Chain A
């Protein structure tokens, strides 16, 4: 039996850099594989909706405006996402993935957590349709 078995560690620590960081002034780069926000590239998408089908938290919705012309809009609920990456595994055309750059998620209201991905004119058309519900209905996602 001894007393002060960890005294050495404590003394040694006086001559070492601190283990903690002064976030947000100092930041560590997230590793390459880190699963941050979802990104989506509509040009490769075929609208198969396999990503939507297996999403455990119903965080993504795929709205098909015109399937033949490849006009898709992905509505991504960042606040529901559990960042598991199953959608990226399911996608056969590699049109989605998780970025390692964007991971600092804080906002003052919840609206900022709904993100639309797609061509600008498609998103505009979708949002206009949503604001006037009496107008021509948007095609429901398949699957």
Chain B
């Protein structure tokens, strides 16, 4: 089915509520609807099984306009339908919550609620997900009129209290895990209600590594932002830079030369190998299989060295520039890549055998955290986590971007949906990646590495989706024609995949929880993008100014 037909279908389904339609891009349909019609419109798309809710973008259109804008992006293959809703800025108007129909929407809604001050009727959660507990009420960091002075911490909120724990009633306990915990490699806070050893409810809290990158982007120019976004995640840095570059190039109506596109795909492939091997090590470590952890990380050095040799750095490769890439693949690099891949392929095959035969490891993975295909679709899972449940979600195949038209990858899918399937999917994916990378190195198109990019990007908005190692990465970029972006919204794959942990922990033993968390390959820095410090021991709350001064003094020494 072609894109036009798919979009026409969507237009037809949404016809009863549609006020206006636009086509901002060839593959996008933009439908303006009334606030009250949101639930009905979303329901119609779901009933017709038209795509999945990929992200919800909130934008403050400014004080002059006096409106907030919410965009519900549904993706179906390469086609994207966005439901556009405008709300007055200063009023109690609220959006109807859709979290009961689409579970992953609850994270999107909470982001909008905390960052932009949208209200949601029918939403059950009132606790914060991203912002610190002592963040003042009614201060929204992504609003146009926000200033850092407003963010002075307020004492007396939950941060001063201990996390909820202890006996709740009968045999039920609440066990807090994190933000600092030996089982977690990165900061996140979970509260698991347990009955004996069995988990009966799960709750989570993010934002411990939130750096306010979306806000920071608005004050930097297009080129500076490339490096800012690259630093969202140290593991999939190239994917972020690539998604941003592709989006900005689309807005500027410039296309990077074929050779640059192929090199981008090659580096993305190498990054996937490094990311999945890192994950394999972490998962093995959580399962108590440290031998596998040590060996997989030793082999990961091969790909790290390749990346260093090609791009000039082990992490944050900075291989992209707007309109192309910096680094070329010469004969020397091509030879090194092929040799490295040959070694890695034999190792990956060996690990595949280990994770599917080792009795100890299988006890921790087989039949644990099973997600059926229907559940995966309902939760809106992405990437390898979805593909392990038989849900074929891969942007590289559904909506090929960059060089993926010329150097396609094949789909890797498992149907069991348990932790073992997630290991197998990731390892098989690496073999596919290795094959594709070899093809790229052998058939690298000739030509220049960069094209000219304007400094000012024409006004417009675009959506750039690419497949990161953890799943679909979603960038919404809006330009007003200046040297800085007007708004960049980033939805990272980990945010969607959290639902799988929260829903699936229930009914499992508490000891399985670290494995379940590791099973979706969570990336906390992906989720969190100012934070104030509170020292409960002294009962003294520091103001932003004090904290800043303390920090400056500390580092002067």
Contact = CB atoms under 8 A, between A and B. Distances in A.
Interface of A: 1-3, 5-6, 9-10, 19, 30-31, 33-35, 53-57, 82-86, 89, 98, 100, 110
B256 interface: no
Given A19-B298, A56-B228, A5 B309 contact: no
For the complex of A and B, list the 8 residue pairs with the smallest distance between their C-beta atoms, beginning with the closest.
Answer: A56-B227, A56-B224, A1-B359, A33-B312, A35-B312, A84-B318, A5-B358, A31-B309
Interface string B315-326: 010100100001
A2 B357 contact: yes
26 contacts: A1-B357, A1-B358, A2-B359, A3-B359, A6-B291, A6-B358, A9-B291, A9-B295, A30-B308, A31-B305, A31-B308, A31-B309, A31-B312, A33-B311, A33-B327, A35-B312, A35-B313, A35-B318, A56-B220, A56-B225, A82-B231, A83-B318, A84-B318, A85-B318, A86-B227, A110-B556
A2 B312 contact: no
A89 B321 contact: yes
Given A31-B305, A89-B321, 18 more contacts: A5-B357, A30-B308, A31-B308, A34-B312, A34-B313, A35-B312, A54-B221, A54-B224, A56-B227, A82-B316, A83-B318, A84-B230, A85-B312, A86-B227, A98-B312, A100-B312, A110-B555, A110-B556
A55 B224 CA distance: 6
Contacts of A2: 357-359
Nearest to B354: A5
B360 interface: yes
Nearest to A9: B295
A86 to B, nearest CB: 6
Contacts of B556: 110
A86 B313 contact: no
A85 B359 contact: no
A11 to B, nearest CB: 12
Interface in B357-374: 357-360, 362
Contacts of B362: 1
Contact of B326 (A85, A100, A110): A85
Nearest to B366: A1
Nearest to B358: A5
Contacts of A57: 227
Nearest to A31: B309
B440 interface: no
Nearest to B228: A56
B4 interface: no
B301 interface: yes
A53 B312 CA distance: 23
B359 A83 contact: no
B36 to A, nearest CB: 44
Contacts of A19: 298, 301
A33 B221 CA distance: 26
Nearest to B309: A31
Nearest to B224: A56
B353 interface: yes
B310 interface: yes
Given A86-B321, A89-B326, A33 B354 contact: no
A49 to B, nearest CB: 14
A19 B226 CA distance: 35
B223 interface: yes
Given A3-B359, A35-B313, A98-B312, A84 B227 contact: yes
Interface in B279-314: 291-292, 295, 298, 301, 305, 308-313
